[in-house]
Amino acid sequence: MHVMVLSCCVLVLLLPGLCLSAPTFTPEVTSSPPAEPQGDLKLAIEYLQQFYNLQKEPLGRMKRSGASFISKVKEMQIFFGLNTSGALDFDTLELMRSPRCGVPDVEEYSQIQGTRWDKNVITYSIGTYTRDMPRNTVDSLVDSAFSVWARASSLTFVRSYTRNADIMVHFVTYEHGDLFPFDGPRGTLAHAFGPGLGVGGDTHFDDSEHWTAGDTGFNLFVVAAHEFGHALGLKHSRNPESLMYPSYKSSHPANILSDEDVANIHALYGPVRSRANHVLRHGLSSQHGPWISGSLFPRLMQNKCDPDLTFDAVSTLGDATCFFRGRYLWIKHNEQYDIKEGPITNFMPKIETSIDAAFWVPRRSTAYLIHESTFWTVRGSLVKGKPRALSHFGFPAWVQDVDAAVHIVKTGRTLFFMHDIYWSYNENRRVMDFGYPKYISDDFPGVNTTINAAVHKEGYLYFFIGPEVYKYDYTQKRVVAVEKANSWLGC
């Protein structure tokens, strides 16, 4: 079978006001006046030959007044929305000096979509890791980047632990065996091959860069989401709002995909498949009133005493504690022994998704239920209004979900946990505290892994980690007990 490989794409950084060397050449940087016109011409010729297919002159030297040269300058200016003068003005030269993608622009944009995988379940594997972050953080950020495309299409991504995955992810440096060597710090950031056999889909990140989960260095989530677009067959966009724009941007809107990105992934793989409500599939109405006993739903009940039971979110809600797992909910009243349970929609018909994190603010008598990049406000047992964007709390745009959240009445803070970092939100001022995110392991000694859920009770923080619960003394900064998660349901 013919191997179909998208031209290697390299995502790069554009920083206003900085003139950094481009990937394939190193312009002279001195404190002397700007480069002489002849130096500008040499820079432009090399740039246009690489990215706009400017043909070399068979005889003599290229002239800036030549018809072919001016034509190619105009092509470049049109692509980037510059003044189409055909002259090497300041803005044009600034872009030519800036780090950028290594794929020709006009050819790259000539077709909106490229090749596609002939399936909708795609495997990926992480072969080599960066030294800049813990492996579990890299795992989570890569998973989140794939989720960007999964949420917008009919695609499903499954992690593999073999070398035979469709998309192999590697952190490498300089020459690494694919004829597209990296160039060290602050040049090309990453590249990906389009769908196909062999290297098709493979995605490489330059480990000479400083990779982070935040706003410093290069945000792995943002870069990976862009590169995986190429690994799925998408090409570059001229639209600066598109995730598939060639230049790296440190800030993105809450919805990281533009309408154009969504339309293009739909063109390749189709839109999100509709998922029938879990309750309706079993022939039950979702219009039951709240707090209905789980005994009415014997076919849907889950084994609350499973020794491996885990929760996605735990929160108090008035005089009850709610335990969320998938689209299922257990409700335990603090003064009663019975536990009500069933699909979340039986209690909160407006919520037809799983809940990733939840917290309760007593002085407002309000709970907040978070799913990916949105949250619901709940008072009593009623969901108020429509879901709102997670960015409401002041998160940077690259944060698209959180693992756990908990409110501490004494401090007036809500803590949001994501991978190995956390934020502190001031509920009184309704702003994120300065200096966050911070590492969880630094401020919570003994908690060195991803937190699935958290709740604050009787002066202690309880961290749900897999099937276990860590009882944490917030004053002494230490874990004082470990128990099974199912013990919270009376097992």
Identify which of 280, 300, 292 has the alpha carbon closest to the alpha carbon of residue 339.
Answer: 292
Does 183 belong to an annotated binding site? yes
Query: Which H helix or E strand runs over 424?
Result: strand 421-426
227 a catalytic residue: yes
CB 348 within 8 A of CB 303: no
215 is in an annotated binding site: no
Secondary structure (3-state) at 300: coil
Strands 11-13 and 156-159: unpaired
204 is in an annotated binding site: yes
Contact yes or no for 187/176 (Cβ under 8 A): no
Task: Tell me: is residue 433 an annotated ligand-binding position.
Answer: no
Dihedral of the CA atoms 97, 98, 102, 107 (nearest 10)?
A: -80
DSSP type of residue 242: S
| 356 annotated binding-site participant | yes
405 is in an annotated binding site: yes
Is residue 178 part of an annotated ligand binding site?
A: yes
407 is in an annotated binding site: no
> Annotation-wise, does 143 bind a ligand?
no
Question: How far from the centroid of its chain's Cα atoms is residue 349's Cα?
Answer: 29
435: Cα separation from own chain's centroid: 21
184 labeled binding residue: yes
28 is in an annotated binding site: no
Residue 47 token pair = 């740039």
Residue 308 annotated as part of some ligand binding site? no
Please check if 358 is assigned to a binding site. yes
Q: What are phi and psi of 272, to 5 degrees?
A: -60, 135
Residue 209 in marked binding region? yes
* Neighbouring residues of 242: CB distance < 8 A, sequence distance ≥ 6: 258, 260, 261
**What pairs with residue 384 in β-bridges?**
377
**191 is annotated as contributing to ligand binding:** yes
Contact criterion met (CB below 8 Å) for 338 and 293: yes
Helix (H) or strand (E) holding 158: strand 156-159
Tell me which of 75, 108, 227, 260 is the catalytic residue. Answer: 227
Known binding positions for Zn(2+):
101, 176, 178, 191, 204, 226, 230, 236, 244
Please state the residue numbers annotated as binding site for Ca(2+): 132, 166, 183-184, 200, 202, 206-207, 209, 312, 356, 358, 405
> Which amino acids are annotated catalytic?
227
Binding site as annotated, residues: 101, 132, 166, 176, 178, 183-184, 191, 200, 202, 204, 206-207, 209, 226, 230, 236, 244, 312, 356, 358, 405
